[in-house]
Amino acid sequence: MRIIFVCALTLIIAGTAHSRKNKTDALEIELRSINEMLESVRDSLENEIAARYTFKQHSVEQREADKEEYERLREKQEVALRNLSKIKEEALVKEQNLTDVRNNAKDKKEEWEFVKNGIDELMQKEADDLFETFPIDLERRRGELEAVRQSYAEKSDPLNGWEEFLRYRIEAMNAGRSVTITQEKLLPNEGEARMFSLARFGSVFAYCMDSSQAIYMIHQTGHLGKDRFSIEPVLSEELNGYVRETLPQWIQDNRVSGMVMTEVTQNEQAKMLVEGNKTTAFQKLKSHLKAGGWVMIPLLLLPVWILILVILKVLQFWTRQRKFSRQIAAAFKLIDKNEKGKALTYAKSKKGLMAGILEVCLNSPKNYSAAENAVRKLIFREINILERNINTLAVIAGAAPLLGLLGTISGMIALFAAVTYYGTGDPKFLAGGISEALVTSQTGLAIAIPTLFAHDYIRKQKDRLVADIEAMAQQVLEKTVAEN
């Protein structure tokens, strides 16, 4: 047993020792493997550390390089910003200068346009005034002015245009104050155009003689526009003989010499001053109506209408007042005599308001309320008759100024149409047109104001008559109907 135990123990020890040896060998192998792994990890770690160190060194170097590059770029940026600010300042200065230049150019352009428009207006005024030119110079001046306008339109130079226009005006002025002998083809006021030998005294007048030795005179008429000058025969025998005698000598010498006789009363205004003639009221009225135009026709019909209405209403009130008074007086005489039957017969035989009131009251001697209502109805009906056409006067008073305003507006439209065509060179033309356009407004107001007073007068007469009617009706009621 002991031997078995020893053997078993030996086996156990041997087995344990063998197990330990195997385990030791395994551990050694594992240890070697771990050492090899450790060596490999350590080498790898050292390589990683070396790589990271190298990367760190490279990062530091790169950072320094980036910092230097950043500083360089920042300095470059600051220089660029300074240059940009300087450029902006220069741009603002140039923009301001450009704005000033543009404003100056705009002002110069406006001044240029003003000068150009002024020259255009001067030329237009000159063209409008050509109708008032001395007849001998009309065609020549029209051609010269047209040449100046064409030259100005082609060159578009106001200064050059002004110089040419000034030269044209100086030549026209020189021609208008010179005394010349010439031959011209003229169109007298009566007759056909023919050649005349004439002695011209500026732009004031001229003596003319045709081939038949008929003596004519170019003189001012005192009117404006195309009728400013007239070519008419010399009617004065003394002046006719003087011109017939001296004009051939002037033509032969080609100059005017000696005493020059002229006619003082060479236009209508001068004749009026010398002869003491004045414009008659009829002539003034005629010119006034002619200036108003077609609107004056209905305006002149309005006063006739107003007068007829006023006369009719006045006659209506007067006749009814007398008629009512007579009927009341006659009926009261019969009633006072206690002859109410005769009074009723009298009322039935008559017409009108009071006859109706008397009839109603006499037929209702005991019923005051019914009689009063019937009387009020009759009075109300009479008031409607009395008020007819009274409001027509008020309508006419309101329509007359409006009709006059219509004429004024029509006249102003025609005036501005003429201004558009002929221009505004002559203030007299514009003022005369406005004056004529206002004629209808003046006439309309002149009609409306008296019409308002007439309407007020007729209205008051109607109210007075109505008050009298009510008083008379009350007297009839009190005298014929007993109150309940």
What is the tens place of the pLDDT at every residue in 340-363? 777 777 777 777 777 777 777 777
pLDDT at 308: 92
pLDDT at 283: 64
pLDDT at 235: 76
HEC letters along 344-411:
HHHHHHCCCHHHHHHHHHHHCCCCHHHHHHHHHHHHHHHHHHHCCCHHHHHHHHHHHHHHHHHHHHHH
Residues of the chain with pLDDT under 50: 269, 273-276, 483-484
The sheet with strand 229-233 has its strands ordered as: 179-186, 194-201, 205-209, 215-220, 229-233
Per-domain boundaries in the chain: 1-94, 129-275, 296-480
Task: Tell me how far apart the terminal alpha carbons of the chain are, to the nearest angstrom.
Answer: 177
Tokens standing for residue 281: 């009221």
Return the number of other C-beta atoms located less than 10 Å from residue 216's C-beta.
Answer: 23
pLDDT at 345: 75
Please say whether the beta carbons of 171 and 233 come within 8 A.
no
- Residue 200 host element (H or E): strand 194-201
